[in-house]
Copies of this chain bind each other. A is one copy, B any other.
């Protein structure tokens, strides 16, 4: 009977997509709660306000990077789910694990913004990029193995999704490893990899066409 129940549970991919959209929406919006406005007691002129805002540089960098991270994982999960034709209990729990790592991102972001020169904070942030990537890899591997993928999905997509995750995660790991030189270099490298996935392919295509 437990096995029977497991088969009927978690079939609804629509509700999984709706829960995911909700969690990404809240996580994206919560990030901004950590952008504190300057204290009115310490600001007595337009110049002081500008200086106080400028001093928030690290927070803004961490905030922008985290929005990029969330956007990339949201788009990645959506691509996967659009090729999966049937839900399954185990797939639901793999995606709940994925969403768990997503809800941790506002914490990692705050940690990085507050301790931006500490390798430990950068390492924690990198783990928070690695974990959702690993869950998405597992999700696709599981869906392939359990025959949940839509039959009209071309073979080149089936292979490219896991391949693409491996390449992206290798680049993120290389970027994170640069923190042994300097955490700012590492952050710059990670943001460049992210921008590559979000923007640059568009530029490449333009050059080619």
Contacts and interface: CB of A to CB of B under 8 A. Distances in A.
A26 B22 contact: yes
Contact of A26 (B25, B67, B163): B25
A200 to B, nearest CB: 10
Contact of A2 (B6, B120, B201): B201
B201 A3 contact: yes
A85 to B, nearest CB: 14
A75 interface: yes
Nearest to A112: B37
A141 interface: no
A107 interface: yes
Interface string A81-92: 011000001101
Contact of A75 (B92, B106, B164): B92
